[in-house]
Structure formats: C-alpha cells, structure tokens
Chains A and B, each alone.
Chain A
C-alpha cells in the first residue's frame, strides 16, 4: 500500500517535473548556450540612464551575462550595422529602434526569430516574418505650455490648430522621422485621406509652424521654456514626466494620435546569437516589461500597465493609428516630400 502510494507520488512528481521542464526546455538550452557566450552587444536608441543601463544591469544580475551597449540615434545604429554587415563583421547582437530594421532586413542582416515570451504580447507586437518584436509603444501627440495656454483653451482637434490665434505659436521638428513633421503629416493623410489631408496641411502651413531640427524631446523643452505655445508630434509620456517635475507641460489626446512600435531584433550571424536571443526573451518577459514601465514607457505586455494608463490609446476616447517599421520606412519619403512642398 505504502509502496504503491509512494510510487504514485513519485510518478506524479516526475510527471509534474517533466511538465515544468518541458515548458522550460527551450529556455534552459538557450540559457546555457547564452552563458557560454558570456556577452551580448546591444546597439540601442534608448537613453542610457533611463533605460539602457538599468536593463543591462538587470540582465547581468539575472544571468551573469555582460551587456555591452552603445547608444546612438536610430540613423547611426542603422549605419553602423549596415557598414559592419557589408564588411562581413557584424559586431552587434541586438539592436532596437522604430524603423531601422526595415532597411537592414533588406540587406539580409536581421535574424528571423520570435521569442517565446512574445506569446504574451498582443498580435501586432510581433512581425509575421519574425524580423522584430515590439517591446514598447511610443505615442505621439501635440503638447502645450500650460502657462501660455489655459487648460480649456488648448486645441482639441486638428481643425482647432487652424485657429488664427495659434499663428506663429506652433513648433515641430522638421526631421523626416515619426516624432517630427513627417509623422504628423503621415497621421493626417492616413486619417483624413489623401485629398482632404493635403487640403488640411495647406491650411496648417498658413499658421507659420516653426520648424527646428532637434530631437522631439527638445521641441517640448522649448515649449516648456515658453518659446512656443504648442508642439506637434511629441512623445506624450515626456509631457507627463516633465509635468511631474512641476513643468508647465501637458499633452493633448487629439484623435487620432500616432502610435509607433519600438522594436528590437537579433542580427543575422551575430557573434553571440544565443545571448542576444536570451536578452530579447528577457525584455519581453514580464520582468523586462516592468523595466520599461519603471522608465515611464508604455510596455507592450498588457499585463504590465504603464504608470499612467491614460497615455495609452484605449481605442474609444483616445484613438491612434499604429505604424510598423515597414510602414514608416515605405511612407516617410512621401511625407517628407509633402513637408517640403508645403512648409518651407
């Protein structure tokens, strides 16, 4: 009897263990291989002290694998990998950004692989062909200076922006990037359609929108400093971060906003492929997603809510059009062309 019971318990335990180990089988093999490589090189567009360093430290602590990161803008990240690839010496294992992957995959420099952990993410967070997985969402909206614009008076719709009182008081970044004039034009054309959208933009041009070629973050800073009243296509979480410090900044849930996926990929023929894969698994896991949350970003995993959930478009009160890296890469030349035609 006892023996039988023991046998049952043993059998049960074994089957339990095997079930667990089956779930982790892939993981463990990957972890071992990654540990053997001992190092992962990450080309990142993330701000070092906000995200890159905390993420690297957390990963090192968990797996004992060193993360060497290099921070640059997404153009430089793409250039570096492109050149390394052409010389046949890719140094990066992992890279992130919003559009770089679209051009790099054409050069056959990106590995087609989707992390296991991506199953917990919404369907649009992974590339069907497996070139990238989204880790967080950027939402781009207008923002304004609350000292210069009383709360109720802020423009709520695209049409409101055409009010003559904003003439000369709106600023945007002139770069051909999503967080700039190009992105705003893209949203207008997509939301209103080609013809209406162009007509609207022609009207907007009459507002003498000031253009500067600096990062979206500094566009907002100029608004906070009082140089302009309203900024178009800034990262809405930036307005919240600054407001928390007491800055007179606020974002506007203007419908629709632009949502851009921040995606991450493993390079093809990476020197440390397994460590790179493990790093991706880590970033899309709940633990990794919490790091994004703590940096005031919007994590992709629905189980990890952003600190300020209202930042994320809910599809009812606040809608957004989401653009994938491929859509940005394909359409940006056209959007930038319209910018030149109407706004300079």
Chain B
C-alpha cells in the first residue's frame, strides 16, 4: 500500500509531467501528422478523384457518380459482398484461433517442443506469398496427393476434399495469416503481467476460467487489432479468391473489381477507385468501433513499473496433446508445403507424385537459378528497398502509435491517416505514387526510391498495428516516472517506451522487411530498368509457366530470408528478455 505522502505528492508530479508532455507532444504530433499526410494524402486524393471523375480521351473531364451505381448494380454484387464478408471473417477467426492457441501454448504454458512453433513461423514468413498459396493448392487440389491417395485407397474416382469454395479459401487464407497472429499475440502474452491471473487463481478460478476472464480480456485490444488486420487484409486479398474461389464459382469483391477494371484497355482505374472508396468508408467505420472498444486503453496496460515474469501454466498430462498440436501446426504450415515445393522444384514441369514423375527428377532448376547473373542486381535492390522501408515505417509507426495511445492532440487523425492505406488496391496506389513523382520534379521516378515510398505507404498500417498492440501494454506511469525525473516526453519515449516496445517493433520490422521482399504489384508498375526487384523476377517465372524454377528460386530465397529472420529474431528475443529482466 502506498504511503500517504506518496499519494499526496502524486498529483503535482502528474500535472508537471503532463504539462511538459503536452508541450512536447503537440510539436511531435504535428511533425508526425505532416509526414503521414505527405505520404498518404496524394494517393488518397488520386483515389477519390479517380472514383468521381470521368476523363475523356484528350484530357477533358467531368464529375460523375455513375461508377458507384455501376458497381452496386453489377450482377451478383450482393452475393460477392456477402462472400467477401464470410471469407474475411472466416479467415480472421481461423487465423486468430490457430495463431492464438499456438502463441498461448508457447508463451504461457510448459508445453514441450516450443522451438517448432518459432521455426514454423519464421520460415513461413520468409516464404514468398505466391509460393505458399500454390503449395497448399497443390496439396489440396483435385489431382493433389490427398485426393489421389483417397482415390487409390477407396478405388473411386471421387475426391475427398474439394478445395474450390469458401471453405478452401478460408482455410488457405487463415493458414497464411496465422504466423502473423502467432508473432503478435506472442509479443503481447510474453509481456503479460501475471498478477491479475494470480489474483484470479487465488480467488478460486480454475485455469480455464482464468484464461477466459483474465488473459483473454486483457489481450482483447491486441486480439481485436489483429482480427481487424486480418479481416481487412482478407477483404482485399486477390490471389486466394482468384485461384481457389473462382473455379468453385465463388466471387468476391476483389475478383469482381478485377473483372470490371480489365474490361477496357488500359485498365479502368475509376471502378477500382470507386470500390476502394466504399471500402475506405467501411474500414473507417470499423476503425471507429475499434477505437471505442479500446478507448480506455489503460485498462489493458500490462507492462507497469513493477517487475514481473509471466508465470507458465503447468498443463500436467495435457502437455502431450498440446505438444502434438504444435507438431500438427508444424507439419501443416511447414513440412507439407516444403515437401511439395521441393518436389516441384526438382521437376521439369509440375506433376503429382508418381514413379514416372520420379524418374524425371533433375537439378536443372537450381542450376538455372544459381547460374543467372541477373539475380545479383535484383538481390541488392530488393534488400535496399526492404531495409529502408521497414526502418522508415517502424520509425514513423512507433511515434504514431505512441501519440495515439497517449491521446496526444490529433491522435485520432494520426491513427486514421496511418490506417487509410489498407484500402488502396496495389495498382491504384502504384498509379497514385507514379503520378506524384511524375509531377513533382525530384528525379525519383524509375529509381528504387519510388518503390520505397510506395511501400512505406502500403505498409504503414501494419507497422502502426504492430506498434499499437505493443504500446497498449505499456502503462503511462513509466513515462510519468521519467517525466518526474526531468525527462521530456520525447526523451521518455526514446529511453523508456521504445526499449519496452522493442519486441513489437522488431517483430513489425521483420514482418515489413519480409513483405517488402516479396510483394509484387507495386514494383511491377514502379520499377525502372535498373530498379527491378526479386518479386519482379518471380513474376516473370510465374507468368512464364516456369513454376518449378520458381519453386527452386523461392526455396533458395526462403533459405536466405530464414537466416535473416532467425538472426533477427534471436536478437529480438535477447533484447526483449534482457529488458524484462531490468524491469
């Protein structure tokens, strides 16, 4: 219990701290706001302008809302909207459950075989997206191993699993995002103050009641933030709906818009923009409700000034089923896709497992990749772009999350600005950035820097979500302590908040770094002859029907990325643990 003297002196210290903080933060808020506005507003203006104006050949234009009408009137629009919702919600729930259970088992229980979960996550995050989707599709396809074996065993010509439908889409998209959930929720759970859980146990609650009523409740902001992230990401996902949904006649908004957009040549960006504007309104509404849910963020703060080490729950004999779950996750997310990719990379063209195909095995794909000198230049471009992007984004994002959680002036605006890019379809953002740099004479067009710029916009929301989830846990009292000791708000941020946030920041950096190395739509539109990236090369192989060579390149690439990810993760863990030790 605090003594009376402490209680009395607290208000004055608080006021003093706040006064300093307010003065500093206002400045800071303004600077971060301007940076975000410069990044986000030009493409946003382009988006809105594209949605509501019609340009005739020759340059004359007029105002029109007909695109919105056309989208709504489109055959099957309501069905597509419903499908989009089911798909996004299903993927978010599935990813959260899968990733969340893994994170809890690994961070808060004494389940054996924990390293498997990290290995799975790190390698899967280093694997190119397109490669992952195709690996699962190959596994689950009509001609894939599972259905082939089923046919052999039963002797029928039926299939066991029909992946082409909403179920298959949710399964694959959910698997794709579960590592992200694992990483983020893991960071939350690792920094968890166990006092409340202990209190609950003391008060007679069983372990599951404790999880339900304390652990889950306290992690709610992180869970919601993640759910929203995956939901929005699935809403604008394209690969999975195009490859898995369409053959089963499941249309979603993104595949519809792709259709509409490509009806004319060059693509009708107006329709894409109109749909994006509708998405923007939707996402803003989601953000609003999300903001209300997490309004009293302090209630959720679990990193306070007190020293702690989260307790690990003893699962007893349940440790073994839990370990089995980790193994299943490991096999599902890593072993099976890897096996099928290795198999594909050794073939001259892709075929299911068979002795005839086995006879065709060749190392040619690897030879082709390793002997091509082109990849060296691509590699360095890709690294520069990914490194600068991840660093810049996490820098701005950590400021934004801090100001936003600490309710600095204009905090809501900052959050909204930083989250807006989620709704830009890649191609619309690409054209927006392109137009910006064609108009502003700074000589960035055609260099790697225009790609960095576009990526910074594209990934800002991820960076902010990562920082935000971490930030919610850091109690204000730590900064106040710094303020009382004479530190300015910025110093408090730098010396107290950033070190405590570092696990989240590093996880975010890693995520963006890896994403930036493999995302395609922007580099394709923005790269010049000397600023091509690895993703563009992969796109060439993909478009060229060289799936096996792509698998070989992708696997080699994943090995390199995994090494980077491992080193990075190791550093992150060490620094995180060290900091917790210091309290």
Residue positions of A touching B, CB distance < 8 A: 41, 47-50, 53, 68-76, 78-80, 82-84, 86-87, 89, 91, 99-100, 102-104, 106-107, 171, 174-177, 210-215, 217-218, 220-221, 224-227, 238, 242, 245-247, 328-329, 332-333, 336, 340-341, 344
Residues of B within 8 A of A344 (CB): 75-76, 249, 251
Contacts of B76 in A (CB 8 A): 344
Cβ-based interface call for B439 (8 A): yes
Assess whether B348 is interfacial by the CB under 8 Å rule: yes
Q: How far is the CA of A322 from the CA of B281 in the complex (A)?
A: 46
Assess the B525–A50 pair: CB atoms within 8 A. Answer: no
Known: A78-B265, A87-B435, A246-B360. A70 touches B528 (CB 8 A): yes
B265-A99 in contact (CB<8A): yes
| A227 CB → nearest B CB, Å | 5
Chain B residues whose C-beta falls within 8 Å of the C-beta of A332 in the assembled complex: 263-265
Q: Are B143 and A214 in contact (CB under 8 A)?
A: no
Distance to closest chain A CB from B345 (angstroms) = 15
The answer to whether the Cβ of B447 comes within 8 Å of any Cβ in the partner chain is no
Closest CB-CB distance, A134 to chain B, in whole Å?
17
Evaluate contact between B266 and A100: CB separation under 8 angstroms.
Answer: yes
In the complex, A329 Cα to B266 Cα: how many Å?
A: 10
Known contacts A74-B265, A80-B525, A332-B265; decide if A224 and B350 are in contact (CB<8 Å).
yes
Q: Which residues of B contact A247 (CB under 8 A)?
A: 348-349, 351
Sample of 19 further A-B pairs with CB below 8 A, known A106-B57, A107-B57: A71-B536, A72-B524, A73-B524, A75-B266, A79-B266, A80-B434, A83-B438, A87-B438, A91-B445, A102-B265, A104-B266, A174-B259, A210-B246, A212-B243, A213-B255, A225-B138, A238-B545, A329-B264, A336-B262
Residues of A within 8 A of B242 (CB): 212-214
Instruction: State how many angstroms separate the Cβ of B437 from the closest Cβ of chain A.
Output: 9
CB-based nearest B residue for A67 = B529
B308 interface residue per 8 A CB criterion: no
The CA of A210 and the CA of B532, in the complex, are separated in Å by 34
Pairs A–B under 8 Å by Cβ, sample size 8: A49-B372, A50-B544, A86-B438, A210-B164, A224-B350, A224-B351, A242-B349, A332-B263
Interface residues of B (CB under 8 A from A): 57-59, 75-76, 138, 141-143, 164, 242-243, 246-247, 249, 251, 255, 258-259, 262-267, 269, 348-352, 360, 372, 374, 427, 431, 434-435, 438-439, 445-446, 524-525, 527-530, 532, 536-537, 540, 542-545, 547
A79/B525 in contact, CB under 8 A: yes
Question: How many angstroms from the CA of A84 to the CA of B143 in the assembled complex?
Answer: 45
Chain A residues closer than 8 Å to B431, beta-carbon distance: 79, 83
From A68, A78, A89, A175, contact of B438 by CB (8 A): A89
- CB-defined contacts of B164 to chain A, threshold 8 Å: 210
Contact A75 B265 (CB under 8 A): yes
Contact of A217 with B525 at beta-carbon distance under 8 Å, contacts A74-B265, A79-B266, A227-B141 already known = no
Complex alpha-carbon distance, A333 and B263, angstroms: 5
Nearest A residue (CB) for B532: A70
| Structural contact, A175 and B349, CB atoms closer than 8 A | no
* Distance between Cα atoms of A226 and B147 in the complex (Å): 12
B446 in contact with A227 (CB, 8 Å): no
In the complex, residue of chain B having the shortest beta-carbon distance to the beta carbon of A91 = B446
- Which residues of chain A are near B350, meaning CB under 8 Å? 221, 224-225
Q: Once bound together, how far apart are the Cα atoms of A227 and B163, in whole Å?
A: 12
Which residue of B259, B542, B545 has the most chain A CB atoms within 10 A of its CB atom? B545
Contact A48–B542 (Cβ < 8 Å):
no
State the CA gap A78–B262 with chains docked (Å): 12
A103 close to B258 (CB less than 8 A): no
